[in-house]
Structure 1
Amino acid sequence: MSTRTTEPVHVVLPNADGGYYRFGELPRLITEALMPDTEGADADPQGSYYVIRALEEMNYEKDLPQAAALPPGEPGYLHVVENSASKRPLKWRTGAVLDAGLVHLDWLNEWGESRKPPHVFSTASAPEPQAEPGSARPTPVKDVSADDGEKWKQKARQRADEIIKRQRAKDLHPSQEAIADEIAREFRQACIVGAAGKPLTGAYIKRHALKGISSAQNRQLSTSVRRGK
């Protein structure tokens, strides 16, 4: 009996500052990435190509807000934060407030895993690695430990401590979210994945490995020292 596999949909988005995209622009960006402007499409006298693209965009305009409205941790949930320096999670995930929110590329990939077919998001400057003819693609380092992924969690906590110390020397105190995103980027470059062979997103690393790790205590200490001067 043959097993039918579904090939993932690869979506190459334009580069974005810090990897953050405005939520309200995502339906258009995703659709244009999947159905770009072409000479053949422009020459279509019926314009059916762009009609289909508009319908596809409407689908994402429906699916993305539904994903953002799910409770955190639910399958298919899409994390959205404020368009501010604090990057706090949005409390009101509807209407204009939601459209102005920001979504990181890592969170899009976490949401994309729940799609049928799965969606894999990358950028023009950092596309998904492609194996060249005659060359072997790097093999991901899978965490196959029997203790529920303690190996990568230990690596993540170690890197978090190093990042906090590095930033503390500059009198900077990154959020837990920013630390997790940096670790996720490093893990992708090193081909470190979870026990299921899937990439570890920043949101997943934060939720499962960085509990209790924060630079807030260091920030409070730093502020107290300055006040005592």
Structure 2
Amino acid sequence: MRKAFIPELCVREFGRAAFRVDDLTAWLKLRGYTLPATARPIDDFDFVHVETLLAGIQGAVQSEAESFKPRTSIELARDLPCPPQLQPFMDEGCEPISNFLQGANAAVQWRELFTDAIAAGELKPVDAMTGLPLVSYKANPQEAGPTPSIAHSQGEVETWKRQARDLALEIIKRQRGRDLFPSQMAIADEIAINFRKGGIVGTDGKPLTGSYIKRHALAGITSAVGKQLSTSLGQGKRGK
């Protein structure tokens, strides 16, 4: 049994969960997704450990970012969620940090896709050690964080939506002060990270993904108006 498996990564969210490569390939084709070119293609294996795959995706995207011109890499990373401890380096235009953020953001997006696919029954994880089905898969409890706050009633659903909208406005205000105008998806991804840290989950007890938050809570919220204003002001200054 050929498997891509780094045991040290079992402490992360997906634990020992792995995918059969044939199942993963079929799902990618069904959804029209293309995996980043990892150091070793998944076709070299029969099974691929989810966390090992995510680490490979992060490394592949980070390496691709390193091939860009420094300014291009930095600008591409401007709208990405950035841990507070790294923000000073981003403010200074640190290229290695911007490359890292692009890789980390790709891993977050694929993590959400895999989480949604497992919840929907589109992908069925197996044990990375034995290859046997994981009948009742749950994320690693060590990474569970705060006790989940599950939205059961319609009122509670409206509460998380309101929290998401409030956070979106805060993000837009913060970024506008830096003359940055993140996309709605970038805003939603940052909110999803905040919700995960705070233990806010959906009605099914699963983490709320950025795409779900964008679709259900952020209609009409955009930084585009501020961007148009900033652009117009900039053009006015150049014309003087």
Normalising by structure 2, what TM-score?
Answer: 0.51
Gap runs ≥5 in structure 2? 8-17, 34-63, 66-75, 78-105, 127-138
**Counterpart amino acid of residue 143 in structure 1:** A
Q: Is the 8 A contact 1:188 1:199 kept in 2?
A: yes
User: Residue 104 of structure 1: SS of its match in structure 2?
Assistant: helix
Match of 1:46 in 2: none
Q: Give the deviation of 1:202 after TM superposition.
A: 0.6
Q: Give the deviation of 1:137 after TM superposition.
A: 7.0
Normalising by structure 1, what TM-score?
Answer: 0.53
Q: Give the deviation of 1:57 after TM superposition.
A: 1.4
Q: Is the 8 A contact 2:118 2:124 kept in 1?
A: yes
**Counterpart amino acid of residue 208 in structure 2:** L
Gap runs ≥5 in structure 1? 1-27, 38-52, 70-82, 87-101, 121-127
Q: Flag the structure with higher helix content.
A: 2
Aligned-residue CA RMSD in angstroms? 3.5
1:130 aligned to 2:102?
Answer: no
**Counterpart amino acid of residue 182 in structure 1:** E
Match of 2:115 in 1: 109
In the aligned structure 2, how far is the partner of 1:154 from the partner of 1:137? 22
Aligned in 2, Cα 1:158/1:137: closer, same or farther, shift over 3 Å? closer
Q: Is the 8 A contact 1:113 1:119 kept in 2?
A: no
Q: Is the 8 A contact 2:146 2:197 kept in 1?
A: no
Match of 1:140 in 2: 148
**Within 5 Å, which residues of 2 pair with 1:150-169?**
150-169=158-177
Q: Is the 8 A contact 1:184 1:202 kept in 2?
A: yes
Match of 2:214 in 1: 206
Aligned in 2, Cα 1:56/1:221: closer, same or farther, shift over 3 Å? same
Match of 1:62 in 2: 26
Q: Give the deviation of 1:59 after TM superposition.
A: 2.5
Match of 2:225 in 1: 217
Q: Is the 8 A contact 1:143 1:195 kept in 2?
A: yes
Match of 2:55 in 1: none
After superposition, the C-alpha distances for 1:71-100 in whole angstroms (9 at most, x for unaligned) are xxxxxxxxxxxx9949xxxxxxxxxxxxxx
In the aligned structure 2, how far is the partner of 1:158 from the partner of 1:137? 23
After superposition, the C-alpha distances for 1:122-161 in whole angstroms (9 at most, x for unaligned) are xxxxxx55259xxx97321122333471010000000000
Q: Is the 8 A contact 1:109 1:119 kept in 2?
A: no
2:4 is aligned, of 2, 8, 32, to 32
Q: Percent identity?
A: 44
Q: Is the 8 A contact 2:181 2:227 kept in 1?
A: yes
In the aligned structure 1, how far is the partner of 2:196 from the partner of 2:186? 16
User: Residue 205 of structure 1: SS of its match in structure 2?
Assistant: helix
Q: Give the deviation of 1:170 after TM superposition.
A: 0.6
Aligned in 2, Cα 1:157/1:113: closer, same or farther, shift over 3 Å? same
Q: Is the 8 A contact 1:156 1:205 kept in 2?
A: yes
In the aligned structure 1, how far is the partner of 2:122 from the partner of 2:232? 52
**Counterpart amino acid of residue 206 in structure 2:** K
Number of residue equivalences: 144
Aligned in 2, Cα 1:56/1:144: closer, same or farther, shift over 3 Å? closer
In the aligned structure 1, how far is the partner of 2:123 from the partner of 2:22? 18
